[in-house]
């Protein structure tokens, strides 16, 4: 068994280097910049799948102290269903480097892996809110009964404790009661990935630095798993080939239209 797989099984997380090359990282940043601009401009499609800084600051004021919610009604915190907003995200999310790592950590064949959902989670410089401590296995959005899912975070800027990076408790996926005083916050380079076991306890602090923190969040699971909750997102439960087919079809359509 690969060392990375052993470490993930025992620690409940892994930092995966260089999932995106420089060209792919630039492509991801361009796509994200576009959907963020659409949200700020009030595009109904983007706003309908998003949560803004104002809303989260009002709902959880303890997570974003000293931020005036009224100033940030048009600044997105989360934008979901990215493929629906721009099918070019399917090209990014179908990269072989991503799927191969997920299959390795789930200890399965690549053909057994399926895509669940993706979103953009943002912590803008100086106003980014904290995220409460939680385990992804407990969510009621998209979860499997067997817990065989992986949440993959791909930051578009270097992510660390300084800019509200994701902290986690190593080994907490093997325990029910866990002390967050033992949490660590791994440094994750831009374009690398932070993989989290579904039962790993994690959360994050506010971003009060001047540095942005945009993260593409992707959840993967196994085709054979029974789902307890399933959201209605574009291409959910697709294989890598399904994502690629979507991108190729849309690309061919754009070529025909032009």
Tell me the pLDDT tens digit for each residue of 27-66: 999 999 999 999 999 999 999 999 999 999 999 999 999 9
The residues that bridge with 234 in the sheet, in sequence order, are none
Counting residues of the chain whose pLDDT is more than 70, the rounded percentage is: 98
Phi, psi values for residue 195, rounded to 5°: -95, 130
CATH number at residue 155: 2.60.120.620
Q: Give 67-108 pLDDT, tens digit per residue.
A: 999 999 999 999 999 999 999 999 999 999 999 999 999 999
Handedness of CA 180, 197, 240, 249 (dihedral sign): negative
Indicate if the pLDDT at residue 1 is higher than 80. Answer: no
Q: How far is CA 123 from CA 68, 79, 211, 236, in A?
A: 15, 12, 9, 26
Q: Give the count of beta carbons closer than 10 Å to the beta carbon of residue 15.
A: 14
Structure tokens at 133: 């401590």
Counting residues of the chain whose pLDDT is more than 90, the rounded percentage is: 90
pTM of the full predicted structure?
0.96
Indicate if the pLDDT at residue 178 is higher than 80. Answer: no
pLDDT confidence of residue 255: 67
The CA R_g of the chain, rounded to the nearest whole Å, is 18
Q: What is the dihedral of CA 143, 183, 162, 75, to 10 degrees?
A: 30
Structural domain boundaries, residue 241 = 3-257
The number of domains in the chain is 1
Q: In whole angstroms, what is the distance from residue 206 CA to residue 230 CA? A: 29
pLDDT confidence of residue 254: 72
Q: Give 9-34 pLDDT, tens digit per residue.
A: 999 999 999 999 999 999 999 999 99
pLDDT band at 164 (very low <50, low <70, confident <90, very high): very high
Place of tokens 């979901």: 80
Q: Give 114-143 pLDDT, tens digit per residue.
A: 999 999 999 999 999 999 999 999 999 999
């Amino acid at each position: 068994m690969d060392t990375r797989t052993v470490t993930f099984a025992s620690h409940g997380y892994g930092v995966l280097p260089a999932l995106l090359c420089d060209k792919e990282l630039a492509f991801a940043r361009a796509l994200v910049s576009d959907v963020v601009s659409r949200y700020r401009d009030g595009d109904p499609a983007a706003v309908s799948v998003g949560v803004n800084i104002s809303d989260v600051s009002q709902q959880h004021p303890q997570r974003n102290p000293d931020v005036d919610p009224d100033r940030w009604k048009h600044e997105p915190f989360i934008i979901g269903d990215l493929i629906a907003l721009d099918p070019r995200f399917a090209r990014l999310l179908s990269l072989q480097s991503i799927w191969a790592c997920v299959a390795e950590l789930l200890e399965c064949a690549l053909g057994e892996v399926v895509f669940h959902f993706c979103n953009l989670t943002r912590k803008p410089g100086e106003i980014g809110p904290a995220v409460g401590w939680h385990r992804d296995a407990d969510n009621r959005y998209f979860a499997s009964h067997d817990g065989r899912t992986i949440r993959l975070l791909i930051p578009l800027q270097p992510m660390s404790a300084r800019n509200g990076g994701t902290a986690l408790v190593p080994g907490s996926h093997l325990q029910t009661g866990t002390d967050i005083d033992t949490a660590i916050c791994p440094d994750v380079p831009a374009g690398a990935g932070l993989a989290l076991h579904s039962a790993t306890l994690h959360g994050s602090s506010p971003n009060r630095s001047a540095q942005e923190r945009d993260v593409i969040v992707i959840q993967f699971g196994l085709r054979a798993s029974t789902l307890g909750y399933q959201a209605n997102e574009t291409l959910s439960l697709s294989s890598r080939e399904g994502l690629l087919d979507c991108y190729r079809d849309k690309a061919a359509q754009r070529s025909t239209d032009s």
